[in-house]
Amino acid sequence: MRCSTLLVIFTGVLLYLVLGALVFRSLEAPLEEKEHTVLILQYTFTLMPSPFSPSQKVLDAVGAGVSAEAAILNETFITNWDIASALFFSGTIMTTIGYGNISPKSDGGKLFCIVYALVGIPMFGILLAGVGDHLGTGLQKTVGKIEKLFLKWRISPTIVRVISAVLSILLGVLLFLAVPTLVFQEVENWSLLESAYFVVITLTTVGFGDYVAGSSAPSGGQSLRIPTNSLLWYKPLVWFWILLGLAYFASILSMIANWLRVLSKKTRAEMEELRAHATDWTQNIQNMSVDFRIPGNLDDHFKRRRRKHRHRSHGHSRSANGAKGEKGELRETYTYPTYSLKKNLPLFKARESTLMVEHHICLVNFALFLRTSCHIGTYA
């Protein structure tokens, strides 16, 4: 994806975020203020002289996001639908995280949320793919430089590829997991475990909502260490971290998938080549009948000794297998036993390697050759 195209998509997503924030704020903020007023009135008229018993109105107000503690202590009302919170809420819809700490309560807000999610989620998916593509390109260049550096040291390419992949993952873990964990620990006044828990739950888009950046502290927790007016830029900054973190890990998964795809193609091509060779070998061996014969012109030591033995035993009579040549030379033909794969093919399963079959045939014929040679030598 071109940078200009990515910039246009990014601008469109930002405008869509602002639009969603304005609409949600206009639909939900008046209802929240009304519920807050009802909560104060319910507490005022039920506190004395009878004990406080929360009514359904009070429960609805608390469910709408109104702070019961602030209402009871008569503190200044702080809305959950300020512009920063509305932007963050719109971003959680598009990223499918959906913390659930605040949600639309009005009918208009629920209807708009349906339409907003159906349009916003695909838009964010396109943006995520583009950002991940550019991050992946930069990551591949970095990995390429690392691989060249290791290859100069004459290290195996496979080991270099594994090292580069591990370093890429560690770099992402450092930038998008370790550093944000420390930042949230300091800003949100969370423990290290709580910060790491929030980071992982967020980037995996699980989003339980028990810990949310920039919102009220969990039960037993402490308040934020940043001024309230800083939340205007803090929450959008958290959303940009979510965007980059999701894009980075998406690019990592895409890179690993490409490596596996290349490896799968190579393996498939090698297996097809081996299968073709095995088929050719099987066909050739099935059509082959191994037959070793000793030539008729046997003018060697074994023949002379056997001929003398026969002359002595049969009164210089010619063997039935012998014949006179043109120069009066005795010609004999001795045939070795043959071992044909056509007759013995059932001994081997079709799945056996053709190379093992060929070796077996050679060994059997060699054994027959040795046995026959020894048998010929016994005539001496």
pLDDT in the model for residue 27 = 94
Which tens digit of pLDDT belongs to each residue from 183-238? Answer: 999 998 899 999 999 999 999 999 898 999 987 544 444 556 666 666 678 888 99
Q: Specify the pLDDT at position 274.
A: 73
The whole-angstrom separation of Cα 222 and Cα 160 is: 47
Decide if 211 contacts 194 (C-beta within 8 A). yes
Query: What's residue 32's pLDDT?
Result: 84
φ and ψ at 101, to 5 degrees? -70, -35
Cβ atoms 248, 132 nearer than 8 A: yes
Q: Are strands 323-324 and 330-331 parallel, antiparallel or unpaired?
A: antiparallel
The single-letter DSSP state of residue 209 is: S
Say yes or no to pLDDT of 367 above 70: no
Is residue 212 within 8 Å of 101, Cβ to Cβ?
yes
Q: Could you tell me if 336 and 369 are in contact, meaning their C-beta atoms sit under 8 angstroms apart?
A: yes
For residue 91, the model assigns a pLDDT of 94
Under the banding of pLDDT at 50, 70 and 90, the label for residue 292 is very low
Residue range 26-38: average pLDDT? 84
The ranges assigned to domains in the chain are 3-270, 288-377
- Tell me 216's DSSP state: P
Of residues 278 and 198, which shows the higher confidence score? 198
Dist CA 165 CA 263 (whole Å) = 15
Question: Which residue carries 């990551």 as its tokens?
Answer: 139
Assign 361 a pLDDT band (cuts: 50, 70, 90). low
Between 64 and 239, where is the model more confident? 239
The most confident of the ranges 9-23, 140-154, 222-236, 336-350 is 9-23
pLDDT tens profile 60-115: 555 555 555 554 545 566 778 988 889 999 999 999 998 988 899 999 999 999 99
Both tokens assigned to 113: 């949320």
pLDDT of residue 335: 45
Q: Which of 37-51, 55-69, 343-357 has the lowest mean pLDDT?
A: 343-357
Most confident segment among 208-222, 246-260, 353-367: 246-260
Domain covering 3-270 in this structure, CATH number: 1.10.287.70
Judge contact between 245 and 183, C-beta under 8 A.
Answer: no
Alpha-carbon gap, residue 29 to 24, rounded angstroms: 8
